[in-house]
Amino acid sequence: MVTLEEYNSTEKPTWCPGCADYTILTTIKKTLTELNIESHNAVLVSGVGCFAKLPYWIKTNGFVGLHGRSLPVAQGIKLANEDLTVIAFGGDGDGYSEGGNHFIHACRRNVNITYVVHNNGVFGLTTGQYSSTSTMGTKSKSSPRGSIEVSFNPIAVALASGATFIARVYVGNPSHCVDIMKKAVQHNGFAFVDIIQPCITFGKNHEYYKDKIYIVDEKYDWSDKSTAFLKALESDTGKIPCGIIYKK
C-alpha cells in the first residue's frame, strides 16, 4: 500500500506563502497515493514558471525542461516506457502561450498521459505580466491600461483539437481537485485538466472567483461534444464551469 509519506520530499517549497501551487502539490501526492502508484513508477514533467517547480518538491522521477515544452518530453517518456504514469505540467503562460502548438497536437495525438495546467491568468515567475488567459481589461505591468486581447479558451481549444478527456477544477475545492485528477490519470488517452488558481501576489484572488466558479450538475452530458462546446464557451461570459466537460 503506497503512503503519502513515500512522496514527501525533504526540500521545502519556495512558492509565496499562501500560493495555490501548494494545494496542487498536495493534490498530485494524494492522487498518486490513492491510486496506489509507487513513486518509482511516476514521472512528473514541467517547463518554466512558478508552477514548473512542482517536481522539485515531490519525491518521484521528474524532468524540468524548456519553456512550454513539457508535452513533447512527457509523450516521449510514455512512448519509451508505457508502464510509467506520466503527468505533464504547464502554466497559462508556459502551456497556452509558449507551448500552445504542443498543446493542440498533444490533444490530437492522444498519448496516454495527463496534462495539468496551473491557470492563474498571469505570468507569475516574471512578476505579473498579463497572460493569454487574463480577461480583457486586466491591468498588469505589461498592460497598464488594461489588456485589449481576447482571452484564450483552453477547454474549447482542447475540444476542437480532439482531446478525449477534458476537465476543469478550482483550487479552492481541494477534494474536487483530487477526485477529477484521479479520473484524469485513470483515463486511457490524453487527459487534460485546467486548474483555475488565484495568484495572490500578482493576479486575481479567491474573492474574484467566488461567484464565477461552479461545478456542472449531474445531468450534464459530458459525452456530447456539442453540449461540451456550449459549456466551454460559458467561461467567455463570466461563469466558469468545473468538472468533467468532455470525455470519450
Q: For the chain, how long is the longest CA-to-CA vector?
A: 54
Minimum CB separation of residue 170 from ligand TPP in Å reads 16
Nearer to Mg ion by C-beta: 60 or 197? 197
Give the number of other CB atoms < 10 A from CB of residue 183. Answer: 18
Q: Which is nearer to ligand TPP, 33 or 147 (CB)?
A: 147
Query: What are the distances in angstroms from CA 114 to CA 86, 142, 154, 218?
Result: 7, 32, 15, 24
- Helix or strand holding residue 91 (H, E): strand 85-91
- Specify the residue, 50 or 244, whose C-beta has the smaller distance to ligand TPP: 50
Min dist. Cβ of residue 204 to ligand TPP (A)? 12
CB of 73 to Mg ion, least distance (A): 19
Cα separation, 5 vs 26, in Å, equals 11
- Give the separation between CA 144 and CA 139, rounded to whole angstroms: 5
Positions touching ligand TPP (CB under 6 A) are: 48-51, 67, 91-94, 118, 120, 122-126, 131
| Rounded alpha-carbon distances, angstroms, from residue 154 to 134, 217, 231 | 12, 21, 12
By beta carbon distance, the residue nearest ligand TPP is 91
Min dist. Cβ of residue 120 to ligand TPP (A): 5
C-beta of 53: minimal distance to Mg ion in Å? 13
Q: Specify the DSSP class assigned to residue 16.
A: P
Cβ proximity to ligand TPP, 45 vs 244, nearer residue: 45
Q: For residues 216 and 200, what is the distance between their CA atoms, to the nearest angstrom?
A: 26
Nearer Cβ to ligand TPP (8/142): 142
Grid coordinates of 240: 466558469
Nearest CB to ligand TPP, comparing residues 91 and 241: 91
Q: Which residues are at the interface with Mg ion (CB under 5 A)?
A: 91-93, 120, 124
Q: Is 17 exposed, middle or buried (0-12, 13-18, 19+ CB in 10 A)?
A: exposed
Interaction partner, residue 126 (Mg ion, ligand TPP, none; CB < 5-8 Å by kind) = ligand TPP
Cell numbers at residue 164, please?
478525449
Phi then psi for residue 218, to 5 deg, are -60, -25
**Residue 49 Cβ vs ligand TPP, minimum distance, rounded to whole Å:** 3
Counting every residue written for the chain, the total comes to 248
Rounded least distance, CB 47 to ligand TPP, Å: 7
Of the pair 68, 91, the CB lying nearest Mg ion is at 91
